[in-house]
Amino acid sequence: MIKILPTISTTFIALSAICVAVGWYYIRARNQEAHKKWMLVGSLFATIFFIIYVSRTIFVGNTLFGGPDSIKVIYQIFLIFHIVLATVAAVMGIVTLTHAFKKRFAKHKKIGPWTAIIWFATAITGVTVYTLLYLIYPGNTTASMIKVILGF
């Protein structure tokens, strides 16, 4: 039950990035309706990811890295990089959506590609963290968020 949650939430990040890529393709093809629909579904998937992730952190805790000490620090730096990207992507996503709904399309068009690119980077680094933590070096033990991120 506990292990299935990170798999589901990581799937939602990946699906969300695919929706954003399809949404970008549609606006390049000048299909505004399809762009809007795909971007909203992408935002919904990102929100589902976030809800699962936060509930897991509160009720279960985060998973400790199970790999060798020699790469632990590299893993932790990579994890922090991913968390920073995810936070920036979330804030930029809200700004991008707000510009769209208020019909400030010039501003939306300026920030939209950056939001999408940071979103893709978040998804790629997120899937990498998942692969390291659950597939290559399964740790199995959970700990507080601070210990998982900073190592103490």
36 binds ligand HEM (CB under 6 A): yes
- Length of the chain counted residue by residue: 152
Residue 97 beta carbon to ligand HEM: minimum distance, rounded to whole angstroms = 5
SS3 151: coil
Q: How far apart are the C-alpha atoms of 136 and 83, rounded to whole Å?
A: 20
SS3 143: strand
For 142, phi and psi rounded to 5 degrees? Answer: -105, 155
Residue 25 beta carbon to ligand HEM: minimum distance, rounded to whole angstroms = 10
Residue 92 beta carbon to ligand HEM: minimum distance, rounded to whole angstroms = 8
SS3 61: coil
Binding to ligand HEM, residues 3-32 (CB under 6 A): 20, 24, 27, 32
Binding site for ligand HEM (CB under 6 A): 20, 24, 27, 32, 35-36, 39-40, 43, 93, 96-97, 100-101, 105, 108-109, 112-113, 115-116
